[in-house]
Chain A
Amino acid sequence: MALVLNQEQQMLKESAQGFLAEFAPLAELRKQRDAGSQTGYADNLWAQMANMGWAAILVPEAYGGLEFGHVGMGQIVEQTGRTLTASPLFATAVLGVTAINSAASEAQKTELLGAIAAGDITTALAVDEKIHHAPAAISMTAVKQNGGYLLNGAKRFVADGSTADKLIVAARTAGEAGDIDGISLFVVDRSAAGVEVERTPMTDTRNYANIRFSNVAVAEAALLGEEGKGFAALSATLDAGNIYLAAELLGIAQESFDRTLQYLKERKQFGVLIGSFQSLQHRAADWWSQVELCKSAVLKALQAMDEGDARAPALASIAKAKLCQVTELATNEAIQMHGGIGMTDEYEIGFFIKRARPAQMMFGDNHYHTDRFAQLSGY
């Protein structure tokens, strides 16, 4: 497949730009933050997005979705990086859909995917238990009892964990932390007895949570897929998650670049535009070149998911590692080249670094994915 967008994907990208500029621009993030919003986005935003069909893009047609594909969805998510738009798009329409579609039974898919596509429910994926991403290092237990399971353990850094209707939880039905076998996925109501949600506001003012499960009883129907064999679906979900995080980071890297480039063409010192200084020109040119590399990595990874390419896991790690690296550069250079004004809350450029770092950290940072890439490459 050629590494370019087709016409439909291009149109979706433009329609996302238009929608986000109108309903969820960066100013909206400030407004939500200053108003002490629990979600980070306006109350009706998700309904509007669902009306646009965004909740259904990755849902197969058989379950009421649009089945439009990852490259298309990637364009929307990239644009949300430019506007720093918080919404259930990532945790529900990407992670929720991928996990359910990879693991669930027909009946579960019909029920859950249909509800997601319609914009009726939101989900959150609860995986990590430590401060660094380690998907096999799961200690949380799920013990069989009374034809169902009893869940005990704690999760942290759960995106949308404080607001989602359903939690998709990775717990251990056998083995011990570090084993790939023995991990199972469950769908749990956030409001279920024994679920204790602690909202943990972070630098990007979104709605993460640490969640404790104390003797939470779920029915057998809450199990997604085969008991103890959940790691494959979890892995596929995390690959998708990382590729979409890379897409969002690409939007951040580009937008912070565009804004900084504009500033270099406006700001005068010593009687001249600072963009006339070669020291800044070369740094800007290198930054631009790095972003070009990022575009290719993200597009290829999205295409690989659409094509069911066996290299998707490696491409996910390539994209996430590279985007972490370049977004770190981009957000730091953005502040430095803006100078003092870049340090002020009043100016928007500082918002990018505060969203970038949690997005980089979620599901593995540059180090994690460079290590994983080496493992997948056989060394």
Chain B
Amino acid sequence: MSDLQAFRQQTRDWLEHNCPESMRQSTAGGDDMCWGGRNYKFASEDQKVWMERMAAKGWTAPDWPAEYGGGGLDKAEHKVLKEELARINARSPLDSFGIWMIGPALLKFGSEALKQQHLPPIVRGEIRWCQGYSEPGAGSDLAGLQAKGEDRGDHFIANGQKVWTSYGDKADWMFCLLRTDTEAKKQMGISLVLFDMETPGVTPKPIKLISGSSPFCETFLDDVRVEKDQVVGEINQGWTIAKYLLTHEREMIGGMGLADVGGESLGQIAAKTLGLEQGRLNNPMLRAEVATWEIDEACFALTAERVTDEVKSGQGVGATSAMLKYYGTELNKRRFETLLKITGSDGLVWEGEASNGGWLPRTWLRTKGNSIEGGTSEVQLNVIAKNILGLG
């Protein structure tokens, strides 16, 4: 038996014994996912046990080095783990901006001390992170950000306002872009800093969205002390890391075009809701819309696969994350518009048990943000036009 086969067998056995039954079904997203953190309330004992067991093996961050608490798996082993998790439909043990965003950035750009300090608590689900990027005056024009970090020797004093801080009211630490040199060209005077959300002067306030929920905050910074040893990379060189993280974020958001709703395709949902006549949906216009969407989705999924394969084999342009983000989010918006047409008046019910608290219309409205957050569709098209097509 090869090492990899042995690893698969061990993994399968371990999962069989350690993944609780109730963790073997997909989540409804959002609050149903396990986010971890100091103040996190687990939805169930199973959720807690599942996170802790996986964290103990480092498998909440399977490909991070073991010295920082990660699983230390190589690419092939990581793939095996993913396949074995998918095989039993196990849900992710821990989702966090620590694992998705700041962790990878620290691994790439952070000092040894920062890695030692921050990575293990992320893996264990002890510290939940949020991102301080956008500001009221700096949305698409992110490099125009104005929140300042004033140099006080061994620390900065930060003042300003951040906005669209995902789960800012629930997070423990923030990774944040500050202007630390007001004289330099706008991209050149920015630093990426880390601070505890309990530092005096940090005030997150939830923003109520059209969906009725408040996953985002505006975060006020009033004379917040930020230690200089909490700067990631060099002072005033934070834009490079910010761009890296934006690319990362684009790829993550772009993947949304691929998620089935409750494990069912649009066609299946439509067939169940509307019924079939002689094997066909009895509404020809809707049937065409559903099929057109599914064809586009299939092409998009294949493209995500092809781009990954091209990177692996050293081919391709590599700058396709803008395209995946653009198309994936537009596709996800279309998915929910079509779902509303399938579900008719039921799909617009906002409250009550029958509608699962208005899950569909609230999620539909949430998708409108997909093509805004992480760079609007228009910004993605600009990126494609300039960086790939060479149009000035």
Contact = CB atoms under 8 A, between A and B. Distances in A.
Interface of A: 2-4, 261, 264-265, 273, 275-276, 278, 280-282, 284-286, 288-289, 292-297, 299-300, 317-318, 321-322, 367, 370-371, 373-375, 377-379
Given A4-B306, A261-B389, A378-B279, A282 B296 contact: no
Contact of A281 (B271, B290, B320, B382): B382
A374 B280 contact: yes
A377 B296 contact: no
Nearest to A301: B302
Contacts of B315: 4
B149 to A, nearest CB: 34
A77 B148 CA distance: 58
Interface size range on B against A:
35 or more
9 contacts: A275-B392, A281-B386, A285-B381, A285-B382, A288-B384, A295-B303, A300-B302, A375-B279, A377-B265
A375 B280 contact: yes
Given A3-B309, A289-B323, A379-B287, 13 more contacts: A3-B302, A3-B305, A265-B390, A276-B391, A278-B382, A282-B378, A285-B389, A293-B296, A317-B295, A318-B295, A322-B296, A373-B295, A374-B288
A92 to B, nearest CB: 30
B300 A293 contact: yes
A299 B270 CA distance: 29
Given A293-B299, A379-B281, A370 B292 contact: yes
B303 A288 contact: no
Nearest to A264: B391
B267 A374 contact: yes
A346 B309 CA distance: 42
Contacts of B386: 281
Contacts of B303: 292-293, 295-296
A286 B385 CA distance: 9
Contact of A318 (B265, B281, B290, B299): B299
A276 B287 CA distance: 40
A375 to B, nearest CB: 7
B299 A377 contact: no
Nearest to A326: B299
Contact of A374 (B291, B296, B299, B327): B291
Contact of A373 (B291, B302, B323): B291
Contacts of B380: 285
B56 to A, nearest CB: 34
Nearest to A372: B291
B271 A289 contact: no
Interface string B352-392: 00000000000000000000000000101110111011111
B303 to A, nearest CB: 4
B306 A3 contact: yes
Nearest to B383: A285
A265 to B, nearest CB: 7
Interface string B301-341: 01101100110110100001001001100000000000000
A276 B323 CA distance: 20
Nearest to A282: B381
A297 B19 CA distance: 37
B259 interface: no
A374 B299 CA distance: 15
Given A275-B392, A288-B384, A379-B271, A295 B281 contact: no
Contacts, number: 126
Interface string B255-287: 000000000010110110000100111000001
B141 to A, nearest CB: 15
Contact of B298 (A4, A284, A318, A374): A318
A379 B294 CA distance: 12
Given A322-B296, A379-B287, A281 B327 contact: no
Contacts of A288: 323, 384, 388-389
A71 to B, nearest CB: 13
Contact of B381 (A281, A295, A318, A322): A281
A52 to B, nearest CB: 25
Which 6 A-B residue pairs are closest in the complex by CB-CB distance?
A281-B385, A296-B302, A285-B384, A3-B306, A374-B291, A293-B299
A276 B327 CA distance: 23
A253 B39 CA distance: 54
A317 B320 CA distance: 26
Nearest to A314: B298
Nearest to B302: A296
A360 B77 CA distance: 45
A150 B389 CA distance: 59
Contacts of A273: 392
A288 B324 CA distance: 12
A294 B385 contact: no
A285 B383 CA distance: 9
A281 B391 CA distance: 7
B295 A370 contact: yes
A371 B284 CA distance: 10
A5 to B, nearest CB: 8
Contacts of A4: 306, 309-310, 313, 315
A278 B378 CA distance: 10
A317 B294 CA distance: 12
B276 to A, nearest CB: 6
A282 B381 CA distance: 6
A359 B17 CA distance: 57
B287 to A, nearest CB: 6
A378 B271 contact: yes
A316 to B, nearest CB: 12
Given A286-B381, A289-B323, A296 B305 contact: yes
A284 B281 contact: no
A43 B380 CA distance: 49
Contacts of A261: 389, 391
Most buried by A among B280, B295, B326, B389: B295
Contacts of A289: 323, 326-327, 384
A141 to B, nearest CB: 28
A265 B267 contact: no
Nearest to B308: A3
B364 to A, nearest CB: 22
B299 A322 contact: yes
Contacts of A2: 309, 312-313
